[in-house]
Amino acid sequence: MSFANALSLRPSVLRATQLCLHQSRNLHATTSRASASTLSTDLFADMGMDKPRPVAPELPPRGPIEWTAENPVAPSSKPVPGKDGLHPPKYHFHAHFSPNNTKIFLADDKFRPVPKGSWSGGSCGFKGVNRSMQEAGYRCAVNAFGRINEIVQEKGPITLAVHLRGFGKGRQAVEQIFLTSEGDKVRPLVVEVEDRTHIKIGGTRAKKARRL
Protein backbone atom coordinates (compact mmCIF):
# COMPACT_ATOMS: atom_id res chain seq x y z
CA MET A 1 0.00 0.00 0.00
CA SER A 2 1.47 3.36 -0.98
CA PHE A 3 1.63 6.47 1.22
CA ALA A 4 -1.03 8.26 -0.83
CA ASN A 5 -3.47 5.39 -0.42
CA ALA A 6 -2.75 5.26 3.31
CA LEU A 7 -3.72 8.95 3.70
CA SER A 8 -7.02 8.34 1.98
CA LEU A 9 -8.08 5.74 4.62
CA ARG A 10 -10.21 6.64 7.60
CA PRO A 11 -8.48 7.37 10.92
CA SER A 12 -10.30 4.43 12.59
CA VAL A 13 -8.88 1.99 10.05
CA LEU A 14 -5.37 3.36 10.50
CA ARG A 15 -5.68 3.06 14.27
CA ALA A 16 -6.81 -0.59 14.05
CA THR A 17 -3.90 -1.38 11.75
CA GLN A 18 -1.40 0.15 14.18
CA LEU A 19 -2.81 -1.88 17.09
CA CYS A 20 -2.48 -5.14 15.14
CA LEU A 21 1.13 -4.41 14.24
CA HIS A 22 1.93 -3.50 17.86
CA GLN A 23 0.38 -6.75 19.20
CA SER A 24 2.27 -8.90 16.68
CA ARG A 25 5.59 -7.29 17.72
CA ASN A 26 4.85 -7.98 21.41
CA LEU A 27 3.91 -11.60 20.72
CA HIS A 28 7.11 -12.22 18.75
CA ALA A 29 9.26 -10.72 21.51
CA THR A 30 7.56 -12.82 24.22
CA THR A 31 8.00 -16.04 22.23
CA SER A 32 11.67 -15.34 21.61
CA ARG A 33 12.35 -14.72 25.31
CA ALA A 34 10.45 -17.87 26.34
CA SER A 35 12.29 -20.12 23.87
CA ALA A 36 15.62 -18.70 24.91
CA SER A 37 14.89 -19.26 28.60
CA THR A 38 13.98 -22.93 28.10
CA LEU A 39 17.29 -23.80 26.42
CA SER A 40 20.35 -24.62 28.48
CA THR A 41 24.02 -25.02 27.82
CA ASP A 42 23.77 -28.83 27.83
CA LEU A 43 22.80 -30.02 24.35
CA PHE A 44 22.10 -33.62 25.47
CA ALA A 45 19.75 -32.38 28.21
CA ASP A 46 17.84 -30.23 25.73
CA MET A 47 17.39 -33.23 23.41
CA GLY A 48 16.30 -35.53 26.25
CA MET A 49 19.26 -37.89 25.79
CA ASP A 50 20.43 -37.61 29.39
CA LYS A 51 17.53 -39.76 30.63
CA PRO A 52 17.89 -43.56 30.71
CA ARG A 53 16.44 -45.24 27.64
CA PRO A 54 13.77 -47.95 28.05
CA VAL A 55 14.99 -51.50 27.62
CA ALA A 56 14.05 -52.85 24.19
CA PRO A 57 11.92 -56.02 24.21
CA GLU A 58 13.57 -59.30 23.38
CA LEU A 59 13.38 -59.99 19.66
CA PRO A 60 12.20 -62.41 18.52
CA PRO A 61 9.89 -63.26 21.44
CA ARG A 62 10.32 -66.67 22.98
CA GLY A 63 7.52 -68.97 23.96
CA PRO A 64 3.92 -69.07 22.78
CA ILE A 65 2.23 -65.82 21.83
CA GLU A 66 -0.92 -65.08 23.82
CA TRP A 67 -3.65 -63.48 21.72
CA THR A 68 -5.70 -60.93 23.62
CA ALA A 69 -8.24 -60.29 20.87
CA GLU A 70 -10.51 -62.71 19.08
CA ASN A 71 -9.32 -63.89 15.68
CA PRO A 72 -11.40 -62.02 13.05
CA VAL A 73 -10.83 -64.82 10.50
CA ALA A 74 -12.36 -67.49 12.76
CA PRO A 75 -15.59 -69.04 11.47
CA SER A 76 -18.81 -67.66 12.83
CA SER A 77 -20.27 -71.07 13.68
CA LYS A 78 -18.39 -72.61 16.58
CA PRO A 79 -17.93 -76.39 16.50
CA VAL A 80 -19.39 -78.60 19.18
CA PRO A 81 -16.88 -78.82 22.07
CA GLY A 82 -15.70 -82.17 23.35
CA LYS A 83 -15.56 -83.42 26.89
CA ASP A 84 -12.45 -81.35 27.66
CA GLY A 85 -14.11 -78.11 26.50
CA LEU A 86 -11.90 -77.78 23.40
CA HIS A 87 -12.69 -78.33 19.74
CA PRO A 88 -13.61 -81.93 18.89
CA PRO A 89 -10.69 -83.95 17.49
CA LYS A 90 -10.67 -84.76 13.78
CA TYR A 91 -10.49 -88.46 12.96
CA HIS A 92 -9.60 -89.73 9.49
CA PHE A 93 -11.47 -92.33 7.45
CA HIS A 94 -9.12 -93.81 4.82
CA ALA A 95 -10.53 -96.06 2.09
CA HIS A 96 -8.34 -97.68 -0.58
CA PHE A 97 -10.00 -99.38 -3.51
CA SER A 98 -7.87 -101.51 -5.83
CA PRO A 99 -8.83 -104.00 -8.57
CA ASN A 100 -7.99 -106.87 -6.17
CA ASN A 101 -9.01 -105.70 -2.69
CA THR A 102 -10.79 -103.07 -0.57
CA LYS A 103 -9.11 -101.63 2.53
CA ILE A 104 -10.51 -99.23 5.14
CA PHE A 105 -8.73 -98.01 8.26
CA LEU A 106 -9.24 -95.23 10.81
CA ALA A 107 -6.69 -92.77 12.23
CA ASP A 108 -6.98 -90.32 15.13
CA ASP A 109 -6.32 -86.58 15.11
CA LYS A 110 -2.55 -87.23 15.29
CA PHE A 111 -2.67 -89.64 12.30
CA ARG A 112 -2.10 -92.69 14.49
CA PRO A 113 -3.98 -95.91 13.64
CA VAL A 114 -7.01 -96.49 15.83
CA PRO A 115 -6.97 -99.81 17.72
CA LYS A 116 -9.27 -102.32 16.04
CA GLY A 117 -9.79 -99.82 13.25
CA SER A 118 -8.68 -101.56 10.04
CA TRP A 119 -10.70 -103.79 7.72
CA SER A 120 -10.22 -105.38 4.32
CA GLY A 121 -12.15 -107.65 2.00
CA GLY A 122 -10.19 -110.65 3.26
CA SER A 123 -10.78 -109.90 6.95
CA CYS A 124 -14.52 -109.64 6.27
CA GLY A 125 -14.64 -113.20 4.92
CA PHE A 126 -14.32 -112.71 1.16
CA LYS A 127 -11.94 -114.76 -0.97
CA GLY A 128 -10.24 -114.19 -4.29
CA VAL A 129 -11.65 -111.57 -6.62
CA ASN A 130 -14.69 -111.12 -4.34
CA ARG A 131 -12.53 -109.00 -1.99
CA SER A 132 -12.79 -106.07 -4.42
CA MET A 133 -16.52 -106.34 -5.12
CA GLN A 134 -19.25 -104.00 -3.86
CA GLU A 135 -20.36 -106.41 -1.14
CA ALA A 136 -16.88 -106.40 0.38
CA GLY A 137 -16.77 -102.59 0.39
CA TYR A 138 -20.21 -102.44 1.98
CA ARG A 139 -19.23 -104.87 4.74
CA CYS A 140 -15.98 -102.98 5.49
CA ALA A 141 -17.82 -99.67 5.71
CA VAL A 142 -20.46 -101.06 8.07
CA ASN A 143 -17.75 -102.35 10.41
CA ALA A 144 -15.96 -98.99 10.25
CA PHE A 145 -19.16 -97.10 11.09
CA GLY A 146 -19.70 -99.33 14.10
CA ARG A 147 -16.20 -98.56 15.35
CA ILE A 148 -16.76 -94.81 14.85
CA ASN A 149 -19.92 -94.96 16.96
CA GLU A 150 -17.94 -96.69 19.72
CA ILE A 151 -15.32 -93.92 19.62
CA VAL A 152 -18.04 -91.27 19.94
CA GLN A 153 -19.45 -93.03 23.00
CA GLU A 154 -16.01 -93.34 24.60
CA LYS A 155 -14.45 -89.92 23.83
CA GLY A 156 -17.39 -87.66 23.07
CA PRO A 157 -18.09 -85.65 19.90
CA ILE A 158 -15.58 -85.94 17.04
CA THR A 159 -15.30 -84.80 13.44
CA LEU A 160 -14.46 -87.03 10.50
CA ALA A 161 -12.36 -86.45 7.38
CA VAL A 162 -12.99 -88.95 4.56
CA HIS A 163 -10.10 -89.80 2.21
CA LEU A 164 -10.81 -91.98 -0.83
CA ARG A 165 -8.23 -93.55 -3.11
CA GLY A 166 -8.61 -95.73 -6.19
CA PHE A 167 -11.45 -96.69 -8.53
CA GLY A 168 -12.24 -100.24 -7.45
CA LYS A 169 -15.76 -101.66 -7.49
CA GLY A 170 -16.10 -101.25 -3.72
CA ARG A 171 -15.87 -97.47 -3.96
CA GLN A 172 -19.44 -97.05 -5.15
CA ALA A 173 -20.74 -99.10 -2.23
CA VAL A 174 -18.79 -97.05 0.33
CA GLU A 175 -19.97 -93.75 -1.17
CA GLN A 176 -23.59 -94.86 -1.13
CA ILE A 177 -23.55 -96.20 2.41
CA PHE A 178 -22.96 -92.66 3.72
CA LEU A 179 -26.39 -91.74 2.30
CA THR A 180 -28.29 -94.74 3.67
CA SER A 181 -29.68 -95.47 7.12
CA GLU A 182 -26.39 -97.08 8.20
CA GLY A 183 -24.67 -93.70 7.86
CA ASP A 184 -27.22 -91.54 9.69
CA LYS A 185 -25.01 -91.26 12.78
CA VAL A 186 -21.74 -90.85 10.88
CA ARG A 187 -22.89 -88.43 8.18
CA PRO A 188 -23.20 -85.36 10.51
CA LEU A 189 -19.61 -85.89 11.67
CA VAL A 190 -18.09 -85.52 8.18
CA VAL A 191 -16.41 -82.13 7.69
CA GLU A 192 -14.01 -82.96 4.85
CA VAL A 193 -14.01 -85.25 1.80
CA GLU A 194 -10.82 -85.73 -0.21
CA ASP A 195 -9.95 -87.85 -3.25
CA ARG A 196 -6.35 -89.07 -3.09
CA THR A 197 -6.37 -91.15 -6.24
CA HIS A 198 -3.03 -91.06 -8.05
CA ILE A 199 -3.23 -89.59 -11.54
CA LYS A 200 -0.73 -90.83 -14.09
CA ILE A 201 0.79 -88.03 -16.13
CA GLY A 202 3.07 -89.17 -18.94
CA GLY A 203 4.43 -92.33 -17.36
CA THR A 204 7.08 -94.65 -18.72
CA ARG A 205 7.70 -95.35 -22.38
CA ALA A 206 5.35 -97.90 -23.91
CA LYS A 207 6.68 -101.17 -25.31
CA LYS A 208 7.46 -101.45 -28.96
CA ALA A 209 4.42 -102.38 -31.01
CA ARG A 210 4.40 -106.01 -32.09
CA ARG A 211 4.75 -106.62 -35.81
CA LEU A 212 3.07 -109.57 -37.45
Q: How far apart are CA 61 and CA 64, in angstroms?
A: 8
For the stretch 122-177, pLDDT in tens is: 999 999 989 999 999 999 999 999 999 999 999 899 999 999 999 999 999 999 99
pTM: 0.56
Architecture in CATH for domain 95-195: 2-Layer Sandwich (3.30)
Q: What are phi and psi of 192, to 5 degrees?
A: -155, 135
Burial of 119 (0-12, 13-18, 19+ CB in 10 A): buried
Strands (E), the chain: 90-97, 102-107, 113-120, 159-165, 190-195
Instruction: Pick 82 or 92 by higher pLDDT.
Output: 92
Share of the chain above pLDDT 90, in %: 48
Task: Report whether 94 contacts 130 (CB < 8 A).
Answer: no
- pLDDT value, residue 3: 46
